[in-house]
Every structure is written in structure tokens, then in C-alpha cells.
Amino acid sequence: MKQIYIHPLPVRIWHWINASSVIALILTGLQIRYLGVFDVMSLEAAVTVHNWFGFLLLGNLLVWLSLYLFSDNIRIYQPELNPKKYYRDSFRQAQYYGWGIFKGARNPHRMTAFNKFNPLQSVSYQIIMLLILPIQIATGILLWDVERFSGIVTMLGGVRVVDTVHVLILIFFTFFLFIHVYLATLGHTAMAHIKAMFTGYEEVEEEEPAHAKQDKDKVKKLSIPISGPPSPLHIH
């Protein structure tokens, strides 16, 4: 194993602010939506905490946009532009997640500083960060002050429609959180990827030099088995 610096300090800070904000919003959101089922704090306190973390998440999203959307770092999230190669690599990654990992297969994705995400991750994160999360923040702002944004709320179909969209995305992020944590444990050890989000360094397998692999292949072709019983000699 070798260590490569994948996650700079600003990215790690952003990640953990994002993670803590999402968790706080899920917990307070569930209490607000299902009052009486979850009673961790008063309704007033839950609404206040929910609003504060919502604005923190909005600020964090703007930081992400400035770090990635307006710099060369956006290449990290760009998927393969060759459709044939993209679908082939995506299928291989899906095979690995589906059953290859349970058989000890090697991860087909080779992580580098500018190739952090496999094809499935890159598309998933783009959809989440550029579509789902902005919709959730927008509907949250509308629900934060319905009277002030009454015109927009009415245009979108009313409070019930806006609230339904907001709750459905809340449920989506709840499931995504569990899936994200599960996938984070699929490194060479259960804590390898999680540890990397604190240190910045990912541990990756060292690639075998090409000449060494070629030498091994030549040896396999030239080798003659010497074990086993000798061929019988027939005398006529």
C-alpha cells in the first residue's frame, strides 16, 4: 500500500460541515414532520436548529461551488465523455459493488488526485450537488418564510406541494446517508476511507511495474512442469 494526498484541508472541512449539517437537518426535520414520534427537543427548538443548519448548508454549498464549479477542480466530478468507455466502466463498477466485492475482486477504479470518483460516484454526486441539494435548499427557504415568498409558493402549487417535495428529499437524504456510510467502509479496511477524510491521505494499492508483469508472463509461457508421473515407456 502507498499513500497519496487526495483530500486537501478545505475539502475535508467542507465535508464534515456538510455531513454534520445534513445529519442535524435530518434529525430536526423528522421531529418537525413527525411531531409526537420523535421528541428529542421542543418544536420551537427543533425549528430554530433546523433553520440555522439549513443556512449553514446553503453557505457550504456556495463554498463548494466556488471551489469546484469556478476552478479546474471541477474535473474531479466530470464523468468520462466517451459514452462507450463510460458505460463500460460503469458496468464494471456496478458488477464490483453487486457481487465482485463479496468474492474478493479488485476494485476496477484506480484512485488518483484528479480521479477520485468512479463513474457511478461522479454522476451521483453531480446530480446531488447540482440538482437535488439546491432544490431542497430552495424549498426549505420557501417554507422558512411562507408569507414573504407566498407568490412563489402559490406559483409552485401551494404549501402542500412545496412541503411534500421537501419531505421526499429529506427521506432521500436519510437513505443516502446510510448508503454513503456503507460505501465508505469498502476500503481495504473498514475505516480506511473514513480515516482519509481526517488525514487527507488515501491508501491505495501499488501498481505492478509493466516490465515486471511482462517478465512474469514470459516465465509462465516458458516454464515446463517437472512434477507428476513420467510417461509410460512401451516396448513392443
- Position 79 scores a pLDDT of 67
SS3 content of the chain, % helix, strand, coil (to 5): 65, 5, 30
- Position 152 scores a pLDDT of 95
- Position 114 scores a pLDDT of 76
What span, in angstroms and rounded, lies between the C-alpha atoms of 95 and 215?
A: 30
What span, in angstroms and rounded, lies between the C-alpha atoms of 233 and 222?
A: 26
- Position 82 scores a pLDDT of 80
Residues sharing a CB contact under 8 Å with residue 159, sequence separation 6 or more, in sequence order: 143, 146, 153
Q: What is the mean pLDDT of each run of 10 residues along the chain (236 residues)?
A: 87 93 93 81 91 95 84 71 86 90 86 84 88 95 94 95 95 92 87 92 70 44 43 42
Domain 2-222 fold is Fumarate Reductase Cytochrome B subunit (1.20.950)
Taking the mean position of all CA atoms in its chain, how far away is CA 44?
33
- Position 65 scores a pLDDT of 86
Are the CB atoms for 136 and 173 separated by under 8 Å? yes
Residues sharing a CB contact under 8 Å with residue 65, sequence separation 6 or more, in sequence order: none
